[in-house]
Structure 1
Amino acid sequence: MSETDNSPARRSIGATRNPASQEAILAAAEAVLLENGLNGFSIEAVAKRARAGKPTIYRWWPSQAALLLDVYHSRKHINFIFPDTGNVRDDLRSYLSGLLKTWREHTSGAVFRSLVAKAQGEPAALAALSAYMADRRAQSGEIIRMAQARGEVRADADPELMTEILASFAWGRLLTDRLEVSDKDIDAVVDAVLTGIAANPSA
């Protein structure tokens, strides 16, 4: 529906989210962001497009950042299952290439860039993003924990730190619009994490 649609507003059931209304609001928020950019994004515009009341939106999402984070998280294509190929190099390669591909081929990349930008000037947005990323680090760290259990990675390696290094590479490419990454570069990044780059590593 367009923003000038005169259809009746969607019914809300208070604090309990109505699935149809929730999806309509998330879709509207995504569309408003992609059409108007972060500077043109507002709860008012989302409410108008979704034919929902502003109080309902604020009751379910206390801030723009919370709404955008839910938009990002709700897109099914970003909730990929962390790989478990039985080989840590293949797992990390699939993780990194999958993340870059998701951001490159779907709207989630633009949404996540906006979240990062908003977090730079809004403490609440930064807190929401930080909490989300802490959860993602815990999930992605499972790749290293599985490798440790198989004896592929040293027991004293920090699982979350290792995968955060890979995610940081992906973040840098996302924020500078360089998501076209070659297989060779992905292999080089993964190998650097797994083997290091020192010319004469200590025994």
Structure 2
Amino acid sequence: MAEDADSGRKSIGARRNPDSAEAILDAAEAVLVEAGYAGFSIEAVARRARAGKPTIYRWWPSKAALLLEIYQRGKRVDSPDTGNIEDDLVGFLKNLFSHWRETSSGSVFRSLIAEAQSDPAAGAALADYSKGRRSHTGQMIDRAKARGEVAVDVDAALVADLLASFAWKHLLTNRLDEDDATLRTAVRYMVQGILAHGR
């Protein structure tokens, strides 16, 4: 049976066809940008890509899986290595906020977080993604440990979670234009703590 009869394509099977997969991802991103999360559906993506829904579901078993791949394929956020942990973390936040603000990635990630609130599969996908990102961000902390700048018993993954919490809150409340001074103050609180000296 031809799943993509409306476009004249033959069924392309379980193995991804790179060109078809790219067309579907392009269509999905366009639907999300134009219609927002409320108007995003596999049906809308299938119409835009002129692809069969069974093909999309074979390659992406859920709406969340498709959203996550859209997000991951466009994410280009550098983790600075300046030799100073505060500068590294401030630079990372600036790069991340700029990326979310200037590309469709911020909208995609907000949509994925929204989907995770009601869909256990989306929640699991987001948790898996976050685990990988926690490890990636934690590398900045590990480098600082190696330099003797951060205590060896500091949990790099927990610090990465604190940083992500700050970033996600700003994404979800549309506050991605924080000035450098505010970002640096937040990082300083995180790195140096808030207790008064001498206590």
1:49 aligns with 2:48: yes
Structure 1 unaligned regions, length at least 5: 1-5
What is the deviation of 1:7?
7.7
Distance (whole Å) between structure 2 residues aligned to residue 22 and residue 157 of structure 1: 42
Distance (whole Å) between structure 2 residues aligned to residue 178 and residue 12 of structure 1: 45
Taking structure 1 as reference, are residues 197 and 10 closer, same or farther at Cα in structure 2, changes over 3 Å only?
farther
* Contact 1:93/1:187 (8 A) holds in 2: yes
Task: Give runs of aligned pairs for residues 38-117 of structure 1, distance below 5 A.
Answer: 38-75=37-74, 78-117=75-114
Match of 1:149 among 140, 146, 149: 146
- SS of equivalent residue, structure 1 residue 198: coil
What count of residue pairs does the alignment treat as equivalent? 195
17-26 or 146-155, which deviates more: 17-26
Give the corresponding residue for 1:132: 129
Taking structure 1 as reference, are residues 12 and 188 closer, same or farther at Cα in structure 2, changes over 3 Å only?
farther
* Contact 1:11/1:21 (8 A) holds in 2: no
- SS of equivalent residue, structure 2 residue 181: helix
Deviation readout 1:140-159 (Å, 9 max, x if unpaired): 10000011011010001111
Identity of aligned pairs, percent?
A: 56
Give the corresponding residue for 1:3: none
1:32 aligns with 2:31: yes
Distance (whole Å) between structure 2 residues aligned to residue 157 and residue 9 of structure 1: 58
* Contact 1:9/1:51 (8 A) holds in 2: no
1:182 aligns with 2:173: no
Distance (whole Å) between structure 2 residues aligned to residue 82 and residue 10 of structure 1: 42
Taking structure 1 as reference, are residues 192 and 12 closer, same or farther at Cα in structure 2, changes over 3 Å only?
farther
What is the deviation of 1:93?
1.1
Deviation readout 1:5-27 (Å, 9 max, x if unpaired): x9835565322211111111111
* Contact 2:170/2:176 (8 A) holds in 1: yes
